[in-house]
Chains A and B, each alone.
Chain A
Amino acid sequence: MDPYEIEFLGENRIISVIPNFSYDKIYLICGEFGPFRAGLPLNVPLWLAIMLKQKQKCRIVPPDWMDLDVLENIKEEEKRSRFFTKMPNEHYMVEAKLILGVAAEDVPNSSEIKTIIKDIWDIRMSKLRTSMDALMKSGGSYGRLDHLTLMEINSVKPLLPSAMDDLHRIRTTSKRPTTASLNTSTFSQSGSSQNI
């Protein structure tokens, strides 16, 4: 999957904004939002929040976890633990990137927060790579992905699943006795879907 597709999924998360305009309720495929009252916070999908912010129609209320103390704790725990720890939400990286990208002035200590989120991401990514190598070395045929977010899981695709397939294929076919001859083998047409 393309990271932008995951971002698209993450953009459906609900966050809080304070609009500087008033407007009736709006009806979207993903639900009803509003009415908008200038100065009063309300919940909207992330993509809508970003769009309004870009048009300078609102202020974004940073999510609870976008806080130096909270993040410092998460970072410490991530460093200490051999396993992956639970992140504040499934799309923390998408939220961080979009909110800090367009609304840094709405987030207190935004540049420190940016750095610390990047640190957490880097710790987790390097842990992920080490555990991938360990998994293959041990010949494991399954791995636990507890607490990994979608973006992180996607970063090991297609390498990890295809390597596990390869290993499985080597194990099964190299030990199998002779089967039918090569050029008369069953006419198996792989259902190749469009590669786009």
Chain B
Amino acid sequence: MFAEKVIELLKEAERNPDTIDPFNDEKIRQILEEMHLLFKMNMNDANATNENKSLWTTVQVRHSALERNKRCLLAYLYDRMKKIKTLRWEFGSVLPPDVRELLSDEEYQWFSKYSTNLASYMRSLGQDIGYSGIDLTENLKPPKSLYIEVLCMADHGKLELEDGDVITLKRNSRHFLPTAECQTLIRQGVLKQIV
């Protein structure tokens, strides 16, 4: 049957809506091969339609299959693009290596450009009234208190606070920190709020 490989690809994406899978080079190569084959067969048969009129319908059927494959591939890329956007909002501008390697080179390029775009947009916000930008990836939840207690989930190294203090974030250490200065680390899973 036509366009079966590409459906496997999409089912994979549908199964894991909350994570991004490795870019599936191999399957995409197979799908493009199927498309090349369909195209070649169509070229041959299109040239032969003079002798055999009924071949024309066959050409049209294969053409539908080509368009189907194209639609599915585009949907696959588009779905990944939306996820890559989310990566920027949740992991920040620097992806951990194990997440970075799930993206194809082109996708990573897109991620970097999106990240730069977002950053320059955020920097531009409020400039007309004297502010030097707002980080839109912060304060995603209504503020409750200025300071919170957090537990460190990983060895993260040194963190310099706005008042100049430097603290070391070691696994299982507890800290009492300004919410504004640790909420990004909480979203990135380095810290965990203790309640």
Contacts and interface: CB of A to CB of B under 8 A. Distances in A.
Partners in one complex: yes
B71 interface: yes
Chain B, interface SS category: helix
A192 B90 CA distance: 17
A8 B82 contact: no
B68 interface: yes
A184 B142 contact: no
Contacts of A196: 86, 89-90, 140
A183 B67 contact: yes
Contacts of A194: 85-86, 89
Interface in B79-107: 82, 85-86, 89-90
A8 B142 contact: yes
A32 interface: no
Contacts of A2: 141
Interface centre among A2, A183, A192, A196 (most CB of B within 10 A): A183
A23 interface: no
A195 B67 contact: no
A90 to B, nearest CB: 17
Contact of A184 (B67, B78, B85, B89): B67
B173 interface: no
Interface string A1-43: 0101101100000000000000000000000000000000000
A174 interface: no
A192 B82 contact: yes
Nearest to A189: B78
Contact of A183 (B68, B89, B140, B141): B68
Nearest to A187: B74
Nearest to A185: B71
Nearest to B144: A4
A185 B72 CA distance: 13
B34 to A, nearest CB: 15
Contacts of B86: 194-196
Interface in A102-128: none
B30 interface: no
B64 interface: yes
A189 B71 CA distance: 13
A81 interface: no
A181 interface: yes
A5 B143 CA distance: 10
Nearest to A181: B64
B142 A5 contact: yes
Contacts of B78: 189
Given A183-B64, A194-B86, A196-B89, A4 B140 contact: no
Nearest to A50: B144
Interface of B: 64, 67-68, 70-71, 78, 82, 85-86, 89-90, 140-142
21 contacts: A2-B141, A4-B141, A4-B142, A5-B141, A8-B142, A181-B64, A182-B68, A183-B64, A183-B67, A183-B68, A183-B70, A183-B71, A184-B67, A192-B82, A194-B85, A194-B86, A195-B86, A196-B86, A196-B89, A196-B90, A196-B140
